[in-house]
Structure 1
Amino acid sequence: MGSLPEGPGNDPVLAPEDLRRVCDFVYRRTGMLYGESKRYYIERRVAQRMERTGTASFAAYMGLLRGSPAEAERLVNSFTVNETYFYREEHQLRALSRAILPEIVARRGPGDRVRIWSIPCSSGEEPYSVAIWLLENWPMVDAYNIEILGSDIDTDALAAAAEGVYAGRALSRLPPDLLDRYFEPAQDGGRRIIADLRESVRLTSANLVDPASMAAEGRFDVILCRNVLIYFDEASRAEAARNLHAALAPGGFLLLGHTESMGRIAEGFTTRRFDDAVVHQRAPS
């Protein structure tokens, strides 16, 4: 491992000031707040990156991070949390097809574009879930030009989303008939989402706390941003909220995780209570 001291069990230990440097590095790039309570999690990831890059000391690794955007990306990838599965928070998908989209298209004509953004999209389960759900549950899906975009800061997760191979818990909520209809057998007993669905979701890199990154894709009618703001501190949540607000078209809808709220961190959102879910709406112009 190099010059990092070892703790119990021969695990490398970061000095307090080095731990802060890593946490600050990740925070500035992602908005995710880490600290002493996550020491083991942080040390393991730093140790893995030092081993894979062949750096002999923490100081040398920090120098590599400052000079190598590619290594900075790999370290950030190692810190992101990609635990999700198909049809997660299904009540929000019901609200999307039963209430949100009908309200949006009431102001549109046949063939008009409707834009839906899943950010972060992790390894693709969430945007692909939206595509499957609408095909199965929204009779008007073919009457409009539905554009689904999946974005994440983790480039490894985006590569996995593009590959579209899943197994185990990721598929556990899907009924067998949907597995047969939208997936094909893959190696090692997994399932790969069919090409038509993979091609229906565009995948890009984006960062919730980077205004330029968020603005690059234009405005959306619906944004799903679920179970990520819980990892942010108040300042990062406020920045993300401003960027999400700017990325919504007037009257557009924001769907957060069930434990998350826009309360106290952003102006310009109204809470809407539908039969199936509570969501947040940008004020119409």
Structure 2
Amino acid sequence: MSQAPLSPNDLERFCRYLYDRTGMVYGESKRYYVERRLADRMRAVGETQFPSYFSLVRSNAAELAAFINAFTVNETYFYREEHQLRCLSTDLLPEIVRRKGPGDKIRIWSLPCSTGEEAYSIAIWLLENWPMVDAYNVEIAGSDIDTAALDAARAGLYGERALSRLPQSVSEAYFEPRGQGLREIIGDLKESVSFTPANLMEGSTLSPHGRFEVIFCRNVLIYFDEAARARAADNLYTALQPGGFLCLGHSESMTRISDRFTVRRFKDGVVYQRPEDGA
């Protein structure tokens, strides 16, 4: 930053504020990362002193959103951890539909959804691999704390790296070329997935979305400390329908966080289920 580095006290205040709102843990060991992103935001709004910028963040909702966006991680691509998508169509959905009638709604949530690759991947995978997709009203939603990422998800424009894991036939069927190495997801599919803001750490932002049969919450809990993981687990439990399933990233385990979920082991993955009689 052009001004002096953050004092230990200011760094601690800043990191506590970020933690309280996102669950992400930063501290002295990540000082360089923190100061670089702070400097970017301060330049953007014309602030030169940390105290005045910190006051702005706490009083201005738009800057708070931009501030949070600067610290979120949006590394993803289509068909990431494909084994879980296989588990969804082969094991989870057949079990779910046994509790449903023809035409009933099945709700699937990608949280956090980043720039939309996961939510759209779920939609494409079901169209390609689940023969019963047209027999039920499947609703796919994506939510994230990062408003810029949500805008990108709604736009549905992706580069070669994001599409690199997709079979060529799938890319050609669901994406249209837009030049400069970009492809846009087709309109019908774009309209079938909704994207809304939500903060995994704040149950009040999750509850308006209702409950879901399946939630994909992958590769985010690794950024939280133990207390934040426990808080997130409670919010995820509440957001699931009784009998619903939670899919985490391959390096994450709910058994070390909460005992409220039942561990289910399938051929293509381990998932966590809210008991059908769970209060």
Correspondence 1:107 to 2:72: no
2:145 corresponding residue in structure 1: 153
| Match of residue 185 from structure 2 | 193
1:214 deviates by 1.3
SS of alignment partner, residue 186 of structure 1: strand
**Residue 76 (str. 1) matches residue 89 (str. 2):** no
Distance 1:15 1:48 in 2: 18
Equivalents in 2 of 1:264, 1:63: separation in Å? 37
- Work out the CA distance in 1 between the residues paired with 2:224 and 2:140: 25
TM-score (norm 2): 0.97
The answer as to whether partners of 2:262 and 2:274 remain within 8 angstroms in 1 is yes
What corresponds to 2:55 in structure 1? 63
Q: Which residue of structure 2 aligns with residue 123 of structure 1?
A: 115
Q: Which moved more, 1:50-59 or 1:156-165?
A: 50-59
Q: What's 1:137 paired with?
A: 129
Range that drifts further, 14-23 or 91-100: 14-23
- Post-superposition shift, 1:168? 2.4
Q: Which residue of 1 aligns with 2:90?
A: 98
Cα distance per residue 1:170-207 (max 9 Å; x no partner): 11100111110000011312100001111110100001
Q: What amino acid maps onto 1:268 in structure 2?
A: R
Question: Partners of 1:263 and 1:92 in 2: how far apart?
Answer: 18
- Find out whether 1:86 has 2:70 as its counterpart: no
**C-alpha distance in 2 between matches for 1:118 and 1:256:** 11
**Counterpart Cα distance in 2 of 1:90 and 1:30:** 27
Task: Give RMSD over aligned pairs.
Answer: 0.9
Select which of 159, 163, 172 maps to 2:164. 172
Query: What letter is aligned with 1:272?
Result: R
Q: Structure 2 stretches of 5 or more lacking a match?
A: none
Share of identical aligned residues, percent? Answer: 63
Give aligned pairs, total: 277
Q: Structure 1: where are the runs of 5+ without partners? A: 6-12
Residue number in structure 2 paired with 1:248 = 240
Could you tell me which residue of structure 1 aligns to residue 254 of structure 2? 262
| Equivalent residue letter for 1:76 | I
Where does structure 1 differ by over 3 angstroms across 4 or more consecutive aligned residues?
A: none
Shift of 1:69: 1.3
Given residue 141 of structure 2, which amino acid in structure 1 is its aligned partner? L
Q: Which residue of 1 aligns with 2:264?
A: 272
2:191 partner letter: E
Conserved 8 A contact 2:160-2:181: no
Alignment deviations for residues 119-145 of structure 1 (CA, whole Å, 9 cap, x no partner): 000000000000000000000000000
Query: Equivalents in 1 of 2:258, 2:202: separation in Å?
Result: 16
Equivalent residue in structure 1 for 2:174, among 154, 158, 182: 182
- Output the CA distance in 2 between the equivalents of 1:211 and 1:266: 17
What TM-score, normalized to structure 1?
Answer: 0.95
Equivalent-residue separation in structure 2 for 1:162 and 1:119 (angstroms): 15
